[in-house]
């Protein structure tokens, strides 16, 4: 069977997949080959779930979009290394079906489907999602010589949880390089930054959303830190948790994000600020997922209002020329 008969080709989606390759390789180095098993389970669930729903909608012409592969790959990178496979499958199916397919398929969804799936299992299965974290391998060959971290290494707090619970910070250099506990894709700030450069260079993701999210997060983190409400400084807040990963890969989803440049900036500002507010004042140690889903719900309204504002501005710029045009028309009539 030809792949073209099963998948809808989308070059942009393949670019996103390529950008995640170094992150996946590093994740295997940290947590072992089980990472690929979790990815495979998510990929199969995404393809089967989307095909079944789209077959109900489109009949025999149903195809699976390559965006479903991106959704599964991104969703996998948001999971803890110790996540049970069946939970990964449930989350992927929920995200594909209820976050995307029921809206009509690709380019019709309002919310980021990967985050819809993660939010569902985050609420339904909080213990495997927030309590147990694997201690990463180190040295050579690291996780490439192991299937998964052993049971004796299965409890270690992530930097953001360690700061929240114990007030102990993790060196920025360690978080930037990535030898820390955390979700599969959030550990290495360096690789995420390199992926951002690649996505911006290939014009796959919006640098305006990334920059405004980062700037807003830094500013709000500085405000709450100076007010004594946050334990970590602004740079720790940005480097820890899923902030960078969400900023680069989730917030820039072209379907659920605004399309107009002013709206993109406002959208990023909202995500950065809400993330810090949730982290600081709620019971959740992480806030990027909820912030992006909240911003998703406002994205269409942002685009609509920007379009109206641009239309009013164009009309106002054109209005001074109207009297001159009328005068010229009157002169022309008198001449005749």
Residue 138 confidence (pLDDT):
86
- Parts of the chain with a pLDDT under 70: 1-5, 150-156, 166-167, 320-336
Q: 236: which 2 tokens?
A: 């720790």
CA dihedral for 172, 178, 184, 186, sign (positive or negative): positive
- pTM equals 0.89
Residue 80 confidence (pLDDT):
93
Provide the pairing of β-strand 64-65 with 7-8. Answer: parallel
3-state secondary structure the chain: CCHHHCEECCHHHHHHHHHHHHHHHHHHHHHCCHHHHHHHHHHHHHHHHHHHHHHHHHHHHCCEEHHHHHHHHHHHHCCCCCCCHHHHHHHHHHHHHHHCHHHCCCCCCCCCHHHHHHHHHHHHCHHHHHCCCCCCCCCCCHHHHCCCCCHHHCCCCCHHHHHHHHCCCCCHHHHHHCCCCCCCCCCCHHHHHHHHHHHHHCCCCCHHHHHHHHHHHHHHHHHHHHCCCCCCCHHHHHHCCCHHHHHHHHCCCCCCCCCCHHHHHHHHHHHHHHHHHHHHHCCCCCCHHHHHHHHHHHHHHHHHHHHHHHHHHHHHHHCCHHHHHHHHHHHHHHHC
Residue 95 confidence (pLDDT):
96
Task: Tell me the pLDDT tens digit for each residue of 148-207.
Answer: 886 544 456 787 877 777 667 778 888 888 888 889 999 899 999 999 999 999 999 999
- Mean pLDDT over the full length of the chain: 87
Q: 64 has which bridge partners?
A: 7
CA–CA distance, 1 with 19 (Å, rounded to integer): 28
CA–CA distance, 235 with 218 (Å, rounded to integer): 7
Q: 30: which 2 tokens?
A: 């940290």
CA–CA distance, 271 with 178 (Å, rounded to integer): 24
Residue 64 confidence (pLDDT):
84
């Amino acid at each position: 069977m030809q792949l073209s008969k099963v998948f809808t080709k989308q070059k942009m989606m393949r670019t996103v997949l390529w950008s995640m390759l170094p992150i996946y390789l590093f994740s295997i180095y940290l947590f072992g080959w089980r990472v690929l098993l979790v990815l495979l389970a998510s990929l199969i669930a995404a393809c089967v779930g989307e095909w079944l729903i789209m077959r109900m909608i489109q009949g025999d012409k149903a195809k699976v979009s390559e965006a479903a592969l991106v959704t599964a790959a991104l969703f996998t990178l948001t999971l803890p290394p110790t996540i049970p496979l069946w939970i990964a499958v449930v989350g992927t199916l929920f995200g594909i079906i209820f976050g995307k397919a029921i809206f009509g398929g690709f380019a019709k969804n309002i919310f980021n489907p990967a985050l819809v799936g993660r939010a569902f299992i985050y609420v339904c299965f909080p213990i495997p999602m927030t309590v147990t974290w694997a201690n990463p391998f180190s040295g050579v060959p690291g996780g490439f010589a192991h299937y998964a971290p052993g049971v004796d290494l299965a409890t270690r707090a992530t930097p953001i949880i360690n700061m929240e619970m114990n007030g102990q910070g993790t060196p920025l250099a360690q978080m930037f390089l990535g030898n820390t506990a955390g979700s599969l894709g959030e550990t290495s700030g360096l690789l995420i930054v390199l992926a951002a450069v690649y996505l911006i260079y290939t014009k796959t993701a919006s640098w305006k959303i990334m920059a405004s999210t980062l700037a807003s997060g830094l500013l709000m983190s500085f405000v709450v830190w100076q007010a004594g409400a946050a334990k970590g400084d602004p740079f720790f807040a940005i480097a820890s948790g899923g902030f960078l990963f969400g900023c680069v890969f989730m917030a820039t989803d072209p379907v659920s994000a605004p399309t107009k440049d002013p709206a993109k900036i406002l959208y990023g500002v909202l995500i950065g600020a809400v993330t810090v507010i949730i982290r600081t004042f709620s019971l959740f140690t992480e806030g990027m997922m909820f912030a992006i889903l909240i911003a998703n719900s406002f994205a269409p309204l942002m685009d609509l209002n920007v379009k109206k504002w641009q239309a009013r501005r164009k009309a106002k710029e054109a209005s001074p020329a109207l009297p001159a045009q009328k005068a010229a028309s009157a002169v022309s009539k008198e001449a005749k």
